[in-house]
Structure 1
Amino acid sequence: AVSGKMVSVTDVETNHSTALSQEFLFYQSSIGEEVENHGQSSGAYIFRPAGEGSITPAALQTELIVGPLLSEARQVHSDWASTSHRVWANGSVVESEWTVGPIPIDEDVGKEVVSRWTSDINSGDTFWTDANGREMMERKLNYRPSWNLDVKEPIAGNFYPVTAAAALRDTAAAAEMFVVTDRAQAAASLASGHMEFMVHRRTTKDDGRGVAEALNETTCDCHDCNCPTSTRGLTVRGTHWVGLPSTNAARHRRTTQQLANDPPLLLFLDLLLPEHAAPLLSGTSLLAEGAALPHNVQLLTLMETEEGGMLLRLAHLYEVGEDGGEAACVDVSALFGGVSSLKELALTGVPPTNLATRRRWPTGRRPSSLTPTPLPSRLAECAKGEFSVVLHAMDIRTFEVELMSDPPRGHSTN
């Protein structure tokens, strides 16, 4: 019988297919009846499951729309959970928009909903989550790197914060599956090839951690803030971008992450503008015409200072070991078409780096088992000019740039 479910994803460039499915499940919220840590309920600050249930039925109600630019599969999992899986022409990811809520709590039982992705990637007991959108951190099931973990919460204890992306890897096959999120969420990999993301929660008991109320946000349809019948739970909508690249996995993941966080901003003007507004159509740029950054460098900040100079902040997008993780050389003078001075600042953009001192924290008498990593030398690595700078993997560097009196400017094309 046809189930209407996703079963695989194929890379059209390489014709490589990977088994992949998506479903919604919920964890029943604990009300503190367990023997271990008795009285601790799941709530605003505590995730403590007391059971698991499925939302996705055996057969999905699915509507398929195919077009020259976009193909979309709209799936109804229940009367309060649905997904729209989209693939754009020439796109490299599956755009999965999910809608969940209002979560029913008719039995006075809270539910904490996850979207689970299941693949045939042999990831073992390990997956990776981002650290504030930058370096990917290795996470192992039921494991902590600095102490022997006594597992009391086999589900909640394996969820980790994700602010940008999570990934599964099969190192033997050089395969990766990644999911880029549009907001901070919790994620776990409880079995090989699985990743799940907490997308919505609604509980009925207070967890006793200071809020003094259950995590039960409600609304109504009358838009009256003082409505006495506001008992309808919230509906939440979000997007996951799922990639299964067969090559250059890190580059696909980082590019998807950048497009999700910083999508192109489209501006439109009326062609029948008055004559004095015509210069707006030329789109004057602060950068020199034809100026470009290396593929592994992002322009984080570009703003004028009160002194008339420019504050420039550049970030290396990749980490050590990723394709694209090599050092990058940026000729700042070529970016602006003329620079008279370049001074590096601290990350905050306030004191020069030679005046910045790191705070030293007391660490006790026990010797540290961590070995300091020597900083790479920046000397003789960038021979493009006097105002060239080097960025190593995961570097973020900030500069104060003084421009020549009248450097050439570029224009955007129309």
Structure 2
Amino acid sequence: RRCPSAALRDFEFPPRAGNKPPNMLNVHLVPHTHDDVGWLKTVDQYYYGDRNDIQHAGVQYILDSVVDQLLKNPDRRFIYVETAFFYRWWKRQSPSMQQTVRQLVDEGRLEFVNGGWCMSDEATTHYSAVIDQMTMGLRFLNETFGACGRPRVAWHIDPFGHAREHASMFAQMGYDGFFFGRLDYQDRTHRMVQLEQELLWRASDSLPPPTADLFTGILPNGYNPPEGFCWDQSCDDPPIRDDPDLEDYNVNDVVSRFLGIAKAQVRRTNHIIMTMGSDFQYENANLWYKNLDKLILYVNALQANGSKVNVLYSTPSCYLQELHRANLTWALKTDDFFPYADSDHDFWTGYFTSRPALKRYERISNSNLQVTCNQLEVLAGPASRTGPFGEGEKKAMAVAQHHDAVSGTEKQHVANDYARRLANGWQRCQVLVSNSLAALSASSAKRIYCDNLNISVCPLTESSRKFAVTVYNPLARPVSWAVRLPVNGSAYVSSDSGDFRRKYISAPPLGYSTYSVSLLQNGPPPASMKPRHPAAIQNEYLRVTFDPDTGLLSSLANLETKQSIKLTQNFYWYNASDGNNTESNQPSGAYIFRPNSSTPFIISQTAKTETVQTSVVQEVRQWFSPWVSQVVRLYAGSRALELEWTVGPLPIDDSLGKEVITRLDTSIQTAEVFYTDSNGREVLRRKKDFRPTWTLKQSEPIAGNYYPINSRAFIKDDADQLTVVTDRSQGGGSIHNGSLEIMLHRRLLYDDVRGVAEPLNETSHIFPDGLVVRGRLLLSLERPPVAADTHRLIAQEMVLQPLLTFTDGDLNPNTRLEVRGFSGLQAALPPAVHLLTLTQWDQDLVLLRLEHQFQSWESKVSSQPVTVSLQKLFSTMEVVGVSEMNLSANQWKDEMRRFAWAPQTGTRDPRLPHVTLRPMEIRTFLLRVVLR
């Protein structure tokens, strides 16, 4: 076929005699490679084929070899997934080779599937970062190959469980279908019996169908070839020996075994799919294709004797097209595919928390690199782009979304490489931020960045008696924060880690405020600090009480709504299985969570406490052990209670791996139900020992009830809802009625035999005895009908924190404190609307995404449609043209056509003045702008 005009719509089989064989079982062979963007080796090592002592893999040779073999037989097909690798390879090809590859793509012989920069993880990624990395990969394919290079199928063959929000995003990106390989072993058995391995996934309870409907197929053999049919250089299966004069001629045996496997695969149509490839295969593609050519030849030759099996080279999109043509009805699914287990005691729920420091660094980097830098580049215009730029920071964030990156399931040296890439990206981003703020403020003062404020280190504020702090707010509404800075001065509150002054600061929407600060010689008296168990702390909205005997939290009250619940919080650890027990030899590891017992060990029954009180903040500092401490913090005017935990280094001198949790036990009557977010967006209901689509046989009462928590989780009854907002992706569950537990840190002594081949035992040169991790949880107590109005906004502020920059000296020597500011918006957006994306696209083009961030059922006030004027949106630029695009910005919205679940609607009217957003809707626009 030739693809430019109709893409895949006019594709017909490439069968014998040019016609589709009637009444045949059609076996679609899909040659593919799965190339991890980092796992056992770094991205660079995988591309170049370095460190083959760790794993033999060289992606550049795979692409070289595949292209060469495709040219030798026009029937051959190949699919490729990871744009991060293909981009590297493409840039190093000659113009003649690039033209050859374009022809292969035009003819459908080389097809891109998925097409994101990487194949992202689905449990621990935030939706905003996923959209960005998909947009980056798809844009390159669009600009390089046009419509023929546009993937029509999402392909997540390796991630360890599948999120509903990912399916929703893929549907809104225009994909016709979604294929994956990993499925809970009980779910797979159930679906095989019920013939439901292919289904329609309704991935939103707010967006009207078919907006978030996605046809989903579960691959029959994971992503590997059938047993006995792997012909890569990494495989041991015998080749097809088809010389009848040879003693070991095996064609009849190969064909017989293949027919048995094909006929045993039960599907609802006369089409089945077989993945022919695996991890980093096709480095010597001749091995694969020579044997696949023979397999097709000899199996199809039996049709002359009445065989009803037809084998062909194919792709996922061609297979999907035939399923669509069958015109059947499909089972409907509305939940997700978590948690994933591949055997009775092997639940892949540990990686929800693995490498918690990297997970937090990825979240901070998403805010800094993908949001703040992009926004300031647009708002400041060309003046921002004077320096060492490119797309390095965006590529670093995109790579971090890989399912062996932020997931924490890579080797230690690879985790270090991911962090290094993010750090290098932030260094380049700092130049852009400085340029932008200089242009917007007309100030040439040198900007200083304090990247270690999480451990109370900032050399400038600690040494200077006069400095200015500029606070950039990436949200489209005004926000106030309490900012803690380490300083040396008598006027500031003293603590163990240095002297602090705590002060609320505010910044306008999509803008900044600058504060000039001078330290005082004679300030107010230090805050009271008492080494005793406090009775209570409270502000205008919350009252928190502590048990006088133990020093632990005992209750939480909302003074505004007159609610009060019993609330006890403590820290525990599960003893990680070493695999040496009677039920199973499966140990806990980077992927798998398997505690030795359902009862965790309590770290301490009591906490040593100390209280600090000022007019701005009240703190209760708790010490549970030498390696676990916490600050319970309540700011004036805050509707959320902050729990800042510090855990580590986890002791292992007892030879026991440890998985540390914090558990909140309340008086809320939950009936063993709790709720988690999906990739930071929609909320899903979870119930202990229950799966909505099959009858669960529970074998791991703790690990089998853990789910990913990306930004928030809550428990509720008719009267009360307690929401916990996290600062990174973590795993958690509600094991007991009224209880919510969240895993904070893991240190393990055994590998879980899933390929990493090293235990999750993080150390560093700073922490040679084990990693110390610090994080925050925010707790809010509300009435269930209105709780979303609070917790969604709190979660958003946790994800998109203010960016602080500093300048030495006083901006105005006549005043001690002044506020100077700028807003990139003419007016704040309504609370229900989030400005998700603002990034430079081309010279005078800007990509804008506006998001309704409430589900249809969440709030009587905030779950209503909202209308926004685009022409009256920005203060620094005028919108002179508007074109609406799909979510991934690789198609015009009005031209996006998906298989006939339903037609899509949209507009490309350049005069479009207003945009209406429905609950959970994201709308993407390409704006033509001129600076004011």
Q: Which amino acid aligns with 2:863?
A: G
State yes or no: 1:252 paired with 2:799. Answer: no
Q: 2:895 — aligned with what? A: 355
Cα distance change on mapping 1:359 and 1:112 into 2, 3 Å: farther
Q: 1:57 — aligned with what? A: 604
Deviation at 1:326, TM superposition (A): 1.3
Q: 2:858 — aligned with what? A: 322
Deviation at 1:16, TM superposition (A): 2.4
Deviation at 1:312, TM superposition (A): 1.3
Secondary structure, aligned partner of 2:923: strand
Alpha-carbon distance in structure 2 between the residues aligned to 1:375 and 1:146: 28
Q: Which amino acid aligns with 1:316?
A: H
Deviation at 1:308, TM superposition (A): 1.0
Q: 1:203 — aligned with what? A: 748
Alpha-carbon distance in structure 1 between the residues aligned to 2:610 and 2:651: 25
TM-score (norm 1): 0.82
Q: Which amino acid aligns with 2:762?
A: E
Which residue of 667, 670, 674 corresponds with 1:120?
667
Q: Which amino acid aligns with 1:167?
A: F
State yes or no: 1:94 paired with 2:94. Answer: no
Secondary structure, aligned partner of 1:334: coil
Q: 1:258-273 residue pairs with structure 2 within 5 A? A: 258-267=796-805
Q: Which amino acid aligns with 1:299?
A: L
Q: 1:110 — aligned with what? A: 657
Secondary structure, aligned partner of 2:872: helix
Which residue of 658, 680, 687 corresponds with 1:140?
687
Cα distance change on mapping 1:307 and 1:14 into 2, 3 Å: same
State yes or no: 1:213 paired with 2:750. Answer: no
Secondary structure, aligned partner of 2:722: strand
Q: How many residues align?
A: 369
Root-mean-square deviation (CA, aligned residues, Å) is 2.6
State yes or no: 1:398 paired with 2:924. Answer: yes
Alpha-carbon distance in structure 2 between the residues aligned to 1:347 and 1:12: 42
Alpha-carbon distance in structure 2 between the residues aligned to 1:283 and 1:196: 41
Which residue of 156, 167, 177 corresponds with 2:703?
156
* Greater mean alpha carbon deviation, residues 212-221 or residues 293-302: 212-221
Which residue of 619, 624, 627 corresponds with 1:80?
627
Q: 1:309 — aligned with what? A: 845
Secondary structure, aligned partner of 1:49: coil
Alpha-carbon distance in structure 2 between the residues aligned to 1:375 and 1:63: 62
Q: 1:12-27 residue pairs with structure 2 within 5 A? A: 12-27=559-574
Check conservation: 1:82, 1:99, Cα contact below 8 A.
Answer: yes
State yes or no: 1:341 paired with 2:877. Answer: no
Alpha-carbon distance in structure 2 between the residues aligned to 1:349 and 1:378: 13
Consecutive unaligned residues in structure 1, runs of 5 or more: 224-229, 274-280, 361-371, 380-384, 408-414
Check conservation: 1:131, 1:162, Cα contact below 8 A.
Answer: yes
Check conservation: 1:378, 1:390, Cα contact below 8 A.
Answer: no
Secondary structure, aligned partner of 1:252: helix
Q: 1:1-12 residue pairs with structure 2 within 5 A? A: 2-12=549-559
Deviation at 1:307, TM superposition (A): 4.0
Cα distance change on mapping 1:53 and 1:309 into 2, 3 Å: closer
Cα distance change on mapping 1:375 and 1:320 into 2, 3 Å: farther
Deviation at 1:178, TM superposition (A): 0.7
Q: Which amino acid aligns with 2:918?
A: H
Alpha-carbon distance in structure 2 between the residues aligned to 1:376 and 1:352: 11
Secondary structure, aligned partner of 2:561: coil
Deviation at 1:375, TM superposition (A): 9.8
Answer 1 or 2: which has greater helix percent: 2
Cα distance change on mapping 1:87 and 1:378 into 2, 3 Å: farther
Which residue of 32, 39, 50 corresponds with 2:579?
32
Q: 1:176 — aligned with what? A: 721
TM-score (norm 2): 0.38
State yes or no: 1:187 paired with 2:732. Answer: yes
Secondary structure, aligned partner of 1:63: strand
* 1:129-180 alpha-carbon deviations (Å, 9 max, x no partner): 110000011111001111110011111000001111111111x22x211111
Check conservation: 1:11, 1:246, Cα contact below 8 A.
Answer: no
* 1:159-217 alpha-carbon deviations (Å, 9 max, x no partner): 001111111111x22x2111111111101000111111111111222211111122222
* Greater mean alpha carbon deviation, residues 302-311 or residues 339-348: 302-311
Identity of aligned residues (%): 39
Deviation at 1:334, TM superposition (A): 1.9
Check conservation: 1:142, 1:154, Cα contact below 8 A.
Answer: yes
Alpha-carbon distance in structure 2 between the residues aligned to 1:118 and 1:252: 22
Cα distance change on mapping 1:219 and 1:312 into 2, 3 Å: closer
* 1:96-121 alpha-carbon deviations (Å, 9 max, x no partner): 01111111122211111111011111
Alpha-carbon distance in structure 1 between the residues aligned to 2:714 and 2:600: 25
Alpha-carbon distance in structure 2 between the residues aligned to 1:327 and 1:163: 26
Q: 1:389 — aligned with what? A: 915
Cα distance change on mapping 1:351 and 1:177 into 2, 3 Å: same
Which residue of 207, 220, 239 corresponds with 2:776?
239
**Moved segments of 4+, more than 6 Å:** 374-379
Q: Which amino acid aligns with 2:838?
A: L
Check conservation: 1:294, 1:329, Cα contact below 8 A.
Answer: no
Q: Which amino acid aligns with 1:312?
A: L
Deviation at 1:309, TM superposition (A): 3.2
Alpha-carbon distance in structure 2 between the residues aligned to 1:197 and 1:375: 42
Alpha-carbon distance in structure 1 between the residues aligned to 2:889 and 2:903: 21
Q: 1:277 — aligned with what? A: none
* 1:26-58 alpha-carbon deviations (Å, 9 max, x no partner): 11111223333x211111111111123433423
Deviation at 1:287, TM superposition (A): 3.2
Consecutive unaligned residues in structure 2, runs of 5 or more: 1-547, 813-818
Secondary structure, aligned partner of 1:233: coil
Deviation at 1:359, TM superposition (A): 7.3
Secondary structure, aligned partner of 1:348: coil
Deviation at 1:239, TM superposition (A): 0.7
Cα distance change on mapping 1:282 and 1:19 into 2, 3 Å: closer
Deviation at 1:282, TM superposition (A): 7.3
Q: Which amino acid aligns with 2:782?
A: P
Deviation at 1:271, TM superposition (A): 5.5
Deviation at 1:264, TM superposition (A): 2.9
Secondary structure, aligned partner of 2:553: coil
Which residue of 279, 283, 300 corresponds with 2:836?
300
Deviation at 1:357, TM superposition (A): 3.8
Secondary structure, aligned partner of 1:349: coil
Alpha-carbon distance in structure 2 between the residues aligned to 1:216 and 1:268: 36
Alpha-carbon distance in structure 1 between the residues aligned to 2:667 and 2:811: 56
Cα distance change on mapping 1:218 and 1:302 into 2, 3 Å: closer
Bigger-Rg structure (1/2)? 2
Q: Which amino acid aligns with 1:151?
A: Q
Cα distance change on mapping 1:272 and 1:234 into 2, 3 Å: closer
Which residue of 588, 591, 608 corresponds with 1:45?
591
* Greater mean alpha carbon deviation, residues 201-210 or residues 13-22: 13-22
Cα distance change on mapping 1:120 and 1:205 into 2, 3 Å: same
* 1:78-101 alpha-carbon deviations (Å, 9 max, x no partner): 111111110000101111011111
